[in-house]
Structure formats: structure tokens, C-alpha cells
Chain A
Amino acid sequence: MRCGDYKENYIKDEEIFQSRFVKFWLALFFIFLIVFPFIANAYMLYIANMIGFAVIGAIGLNLLTGFTGQISLGHAAFIGVGAYTSAILITKYGVSFWLSIPLAGLVSALAGLVIGIPSLRVKGLYLCIATLAAQFIFGFVFVHWESMTKGITGIHIPPPRIGSLQFVTEKDFYWITIVFVVLGVGYARNLVRSKMGRAFVAIRDRDLAAEIMGINLFRYKLTAFAISSFYAGVSGALWVSFLKVVIPEHFPFMLCIQYLAMVIVGGLGSVIGSIFGAVFMTLVPELLNVLSDMVKSYAPGMGKLIIPFKQVVFGFLIVSFLIFEPRGLAEIWNRIKKFFTLWPFSY
């Protein structure tokens, strides 16, 4: 009987799926993901898609902030760059949706490289302000570069297609989202156990020590910015193709805060934490909406009191997580896993 975490070599220690238990539940989860669109209605599929976009974006930010320790307040801008790149390529230049997604990621990565340059000289709060500039610069560009972005009117985007097959509904788009989420999670999970991933963590823990060990800070910090922005760009491109429209008001400053909250609540420096954070920040407000609707339908007079209260509850939940589990949902997940791994000798 397994009753501990016993490994005999480093290869075993670095395996992604470390036990049959993990493989079994992951297989079950994939089966659920495949069955889900056939049992869910349009609303639930809409939420599933939104969670998917949030997962991709949150992983991107976690690679930069959680793994490399570079705080960024420009994530919404990079999502916007990807969204507009994809929309412009599809509508203005007739590029296929499938090609526009990686190109959107690349253009966002380029933007991330430029905005990331100050990261070599400034850290912490100063870097925050430097990246915040991206938010304002790109926000201005989205509104005023009217010949490309169509300004406040925005760009209507046709649904993706393969031949005569169009991806119009939430269910159709769900399959696209799932593929990109799996690719994004898979790449990030592999990246963090590679040389580059370890360099990111070394920079986060102590950049001077990392440099002494031979890690090129400039190269790795910029790479982290580029990869993070690539994820953001892909997330933005998918999101607006799903919405079928992009307008400048889709990328407010609050979106940056929302993504930061995702990675903090989920767990900094954890890929699965990004997933948990994205699910929490997208699903919990919806659950509270559903609950408040239920209360409203049973007690119609209470609606006006209950609805504003849900935001208080959501805020309270976030604060509670930070107080009682500062390492995020990922740590709670680890404890649950350990409980089962060590059961029945969990003392």
C-alpha cells in the first residue's frame, strides 16, 4: 500500500503525472470535459468558454508574476493587443482564424518584450508603474488608431470556420477553447520543469544569486514577459472571436486586477493554481448570481437587498482565502491530495 511520497530518482520526481491515482482522475476529468457540452445548456457552455479564456490568460500572468516574480499591471493591454491583432487580421487582411491566433500571440509577445525592457532596471512597485504604462498606451491606441481598430465602433468578427463547418454556438466554440486550454496548460506545465522554468524561479527567489549562478537576467526576464504576453494575446484573440466583436472598453484596468486576483487566489507559482484561480473568479460570481436569482424568485421583495450583497460575499470570500490560505487554492488542493495519498496514515 502506498503510504508516502517515495521516489528513487530525479526523473520520477519530475514526472507530470506522478501516480496512477492522478492519471485515473485526470482521465475521468477529460471524459467529463468531453461529455459536458452534451449535457450543458448554452449558458453553462458560455461560462465554460469564459473559464477557458481566463485559464489561458491566468497561466500567462502566473508565469510572469508567480514564477518569475515580475509584477505586471499591463496584462489587460496584452490581452487587448492579441484581440485586436486577431480581429484586424481576420477582417482586414482575410487571414484565417486559425492562423490569426498564433499571430495574435506573437504580436502580443512583441509588445510584452518592449514593455518588459524596464524590468532589468526596476523591480516591485516601480515595475508595476512601468507596466501600467502599457495599459494606458495601448488603451489610447485602441480608441484612436481608427483606420485599424475602427475606434469606439469596434470590429465585428465572423465566426471561425473549417471549410463549410462554422463554429457559431457556445458548444461549437467549446471544442476550440478546450484544445487551446490543453495546449496552454501542457506547455506551461512542461516549461516550469525545464531549465527555463527553473531560471524563472531562481530570478523570483533572488535575482542577484541567480545572476551569479550564470542566469542571464535580461534574457530570461524578457522571455518571461514574451511568453506571458503570448498567452494573454491568445486568450484575447479567442475571447473576442467568441464574442464576435471587439471594442476598446473590453480591456479596462480592472481586468488587470481581476487577473492578478486570479493568480493570487489560485496560488502564485503554480500552474494548477492558475486554473483554480480562473475557475474561482469566473464561476463564483456566477454561482452567487444564480443563488441571488433563486432567493429573488422565492422572496421577490428581497431581490434589491440580496443582489448588492453578493458583491460583499464575493469580496469576503477572496479576503478569507488570503487570510486562511495565503498560498491559494492550489495549496488546499495539495492538502486534499496528501490526505488521500497518505490515507489511512494521514497523521
Chain B
Amino acid sequence: MKKLGLFILSFILCLGPFSIAMAQKSPTICAVHPFTGRFAFAGIEGSAAMQDVVDMANEGGGVNGKKIQYYWADGEYKDDVGIAAFKRLYAQYNPQIMFGQSTGMTKALGPEIKSRYKVLYSAYTMTSEAANPKENPYLFIAAPTYTEQFGVLLKYIAKEKPGANIAFFYSDTEFGREPIVAGREICKKMGLNLVAEEVSQVGGVDITTQVLDMKGKKVDYCIFQGFVSNPIAAVIKQSKDYGLNAKFMGTFWSTELQLLRELGPLADEYTGVTAYSFYFQEDVPMVKKIREWTQKKYPKVEYRSQSYMENYMTTLLFVECFKRADKMAGGITGDNLTKALQSIKNFDVGGLMPPVSIKSNSIPVGRVYRGNSKTVRFDPISDWIRME
């Protein structure tokens, strides 16, 4: 009975703080990060980036003298846990800006954000649904959508080899299928031949059939979508064994050093699109600033991933929106923050991206990088490419 009593007591103690919804007047950001679960590789880096930008902004005087408050919780990359964390954070801190952990969570909360919460919202997603200001003005992504990333790659291919044979190689998931329909249309517009669409599961699966099919269809370029690493490395390795001389490309989440390490000497065969400069591009002013901050605060950290850069960029925009909304009549509200977001034109982010202009609640720009097996890094092979 003592144990039961202890359990009830701890339950009451835990729920106590939530019965008081504290009205916060200071600018507040709340985030649900996938700190555990299969997307933790992004969540751990992303939460560090948000904390860093908030700390930097507060050291620099905050939002017109007001310190930014930042709170976060783990969503485990599960929609129900993430939504619960969103509601818990909202009830506890009453933020003006929120950040979510996935596409599923964004889709589930989208209608309520528009009708009830009215907070500026972004997430670990690049779905087109989060970049549709007519449907939902509160949602935005600080990156190109997956469709826009496909557009950047196809634009690059159309310039390098007009009329090339293209294959889409995607996972049978929401993440994998997202840009496929629009990708077909872009191929037609750019005069490229989409000759194959290969579907595979995520992970270490047999992809011999798909490789042989691409060889039979004389594919020049194969674009991956919906994978972080496996089976990309396996496809590239087997393609060499079977004599398929295609170039292999991927979008944001697979354009990371981990894949180059897995590819080893074949790293030169992989090309990816990303929206941000890499941590090793020391000549970029914003990267230099991030490196100095990291070395000062976390001397043991040697590398910051693209997930870090994505959240760093998002939080830079959050802070800028706070500053602009604070000067508007009514102060920092969700509606003023969306107006502030729309007013961002040619915003200098120190080369992390080219000067940022928000268009349809996304930033439709990317750069193509090729893997380098000797340095195990990505080298830029194009300038920034903008999509209309």
C-alpha cells in the first residue's frame, strides 16, 4: 500500500505544474525533438542548434531587450507522443512559436494550429503540405521542399546532359513517395526521360532486381528519395558490379558524411542536394561563427551535421520574426509572426544559405555537392540553384 501511495503522490506532483497555464509575455519557442527513436540522429543535433541560436541571440540582447525563452521535449519520433508533448509544452509555456518532430505530427496538428493555437510553426519536415500559405499561413519550412530539391537536381541534370534517362529510386513510405508525382511533371517540363521508377524498402534489402532493371533501361541518373543511408550504398556498389554506369543522386537527408563513409572508395559516385553550407566550409562567415561558438562551448564536438544547420537556419528565422513582430502593433502574436515571416526578403544569413527570401512559406534554393572519397567530404559542384 505504501508503494501505491507513493505512486499517487508522484502523479499529483507531476500534474501539479500543468494546472497553472503560465502566461508568458517574453518571446518563447517550444520544440518537440525526436531525441530518442529512429530519427534521433537529427533530433540531438537539431535541439543543440536551437539552443545555440537562442543563447547567441540572448547574448546579443535578445529580442529588442527581451530574452528569448526556449523549452523542448522528446517526441520519440512517434506521432501520438509528439502531439502529447506539443500540447504539454503549449499548456505549460504558452509559446508564440513551436517546432515539431515529423511530417505526421505536422499533418495532424496543422488544422488545429490554424484554428486554435495560431503559433508560427516549423518542423523536421520538407513536405509540400507545410509550405502552403493559402491553406495554412502558420506553417513554414526553412528549406526547399522535397519537390523543390528534386527540381534542383533535375535542373542540374538538364543542364549537364539534356534528354538524359532518369530513374527515381524511392522507399515505399510517405517520405519516399512525397515528391514523385511532381518529379514526373518536372522531368516532362525539362525534357528529361523518366525511364524507371524503382521502389524498395528501407534498410539492408536485396536490390538486385532494381539494379538490373535500371541497367536494362540504360539509366543515366538515378535519384534516391526516402532513404538516409541504406540501401543507397548497396545500390551504388552493386551497380558497379553489374556494369550500370549511372550517376547517383539524393536529397537532403542522404547528403551527409555518414553515407560517404559507408561508400568508401565509391564516395565519388554520389551527388546530393542540400540547402545549407557544410560545417567544414570554413570560409563561409556563418559557418565560421558556428565553429567558433562550438569550439568555445563544446570543445569535444568535431562536426555539426546538416540537421544542425537546418535547425540553426530555422531558429535564425524564428528570432528575426520575433524582432520584426515585436515592432508591430499588438506585439509578438502568431498572426504578427506570420506577417513578419512573409516580409523577409534578401535576409543575409552569412552564407549558410544565399540571402533568404520566403516564397510560399519555403526557401526554394539548393546546391549540388559531390562526394569526395579522399577527404570524405562533399565538394560543391554548382552554384546555388533557385526554383521558380
Q: Do A and B bind each other?
A: yes
Contact check, B73 vs A244: say whether CB atoms are below 8 A apart. Answer: no
Q: Is A195 located at the chain interface by the 8 A CB criterion?
A: no
Contact check, B73 vs A289: say whether CB atoms are below 8 A apart. Answer: yes
Contacts of A168 in B (CB 8 A): 115-116
Give the Cβ gap from A246 to chain B, nearest Cβ, in Å. Answer: 9
Give the Cβ gap from A242 to chain B, nearest Cβ, in Å. Answer: 10
Give the Cβ gap from A330 to chain B, nearest Cβ, in Å. Answer: 15
Contact residues of B: prevailing secondary structure: helix
Contact check, B177 vs A151: say whether CB atoms are below 8 A apart. Answer: yes
Q: Closest A residue to B174 by CB, please name it.
A: A152
Known contacts A152-B178, A243-B108: A290-B14 contact under CB 8 Å:
yes
The docked-state distance in angstroms from the alpha carbon of A235 to that of B275 is: 42
Which of the candidate stretches A41-49, A174-182, A203-211, A214-222 sits at the interface with the other chain?
A41-49
Contacts of B173 in A (CB 8 A): 152, 249
The docked-state distance in angstroms from the alpha carbon of A50 to that of B18 is: 18
Known contacts A152-B177, A169-B116, A250-B79: A311-B10 contact under CB 8 Å:
no
Contacts of A292 in B (CB 8 A): 74
The docked-state distance in angstroms from the alpha carbon of A95 to that of B331 is: 44
Q: Is A31 located at the chain interface by the 8 A CB criterion?
A: no
Known contacts A143-B172, A250-B104, A291-B14: A156-B111 contact under CB 8 Å:
yes
Give the Cβ gap from A129 to chain B, nearest Cβ, in Å. Answer: 19
Q: Is B81 located at the chain interface by the 8 A CB criterion?
A: yes
- A window 26-81: CB within 8 A of B: 39-44, 46-47, 50
Contacts of A304 in B (CB 8 A): 35, 44
Known contacts A244-B108, A244-B111, A249-B174: A287-B84 contact under CB 8 Å:
no
* Interface membership of chain A positions 144-159, coded 1 if the CB is closer than 8 angstroms to chain B and 0 otherwise: 0000000111101000
The docked-state distance in angstroms from the alpha carbon of A168 to that of B112 is: 9
Contact check, A47 vs B108: say whether CB atoms are below 8 A apart. Answer: no
The docked-state distance in angstroms from the alpha carbon of A311 to that of B112 is: 29
Contact residues of A: prevailing secondary structure: helix
Contact check, A43 vs B14: say whether CB atoms are below 8 A apart. Answer: no
Give the Cβ gap from A170 to chain B, nearest Cβ, in Å. Answer: 8
Give the Cβ gap from A313 to chain B, nearest Cβ, in Å. Answer: 12
Q: Is B91 located at the chain interface by the 8 A CB criterion?
A: yes
Residue from A39, A50, A169, A290 whose CB has the most chain B CB atoms within 10 Å = A290
Q: Is A336 located at the chain interface by the 8 A CB criterion?
A: yes
* Cβ-neighbour of A44 out of B15, B74, B83, B111 (below 8 A): B15
The docked-state distance in angstroms from the alpha carbon of A310 to that of B74 is: 10
Contact check, A46 vs B87: say whether CB atoms are below 8 A apart. Answer: yes
The docked-state distance in angstroms from the alpha carbon of A170 to that of B87 is: 10
Q: Is A322 located at the chain interface by the 8 A CB criterion?
A: no
Q: Is B88 located at the chain interface by the 8 A CB criterion?
A: yes
18 other A-B residue contacts (CB within 8 Å) besides A247-B104, A286-B84: A42-B90, A42-B91, A43-B18, A43-B84, A43-B88, A50-B80, A244-B108, A244-B112, A247-B107, A249-B79, A249-B104, A289-B81, A289-B88, A290-B88, A304-B44, A307-B35, A308-B36, A310-B74
Can you give 13 contacting A-B residue pairs, CB < 8 Å? Answer: A41-B91, A43-B18, A43-B92, A46-B83, A50-B84, A151-B177, A152-B178, A153-B129, A247-B107, A285-B81, A289-B81, A293-B88, A304-B44
Residues of B within 8 A of A (CB): 1, 4, 10-11, 14-15, 17-19, 21, 35-36, 44, 73-74, 76, 79-81, 83-85, 87-88, 90-92, 104, 107-108, 110-112, 115-116, 129, 172-174, 177-178
Residues of A within 8 A of B (CB): 39-44, 46-47, 50, 143, 151-154, 156, 168-170, 243-245, 247-250, 285-287, 289-294, 304, 307-308, 310-311, 336, 339
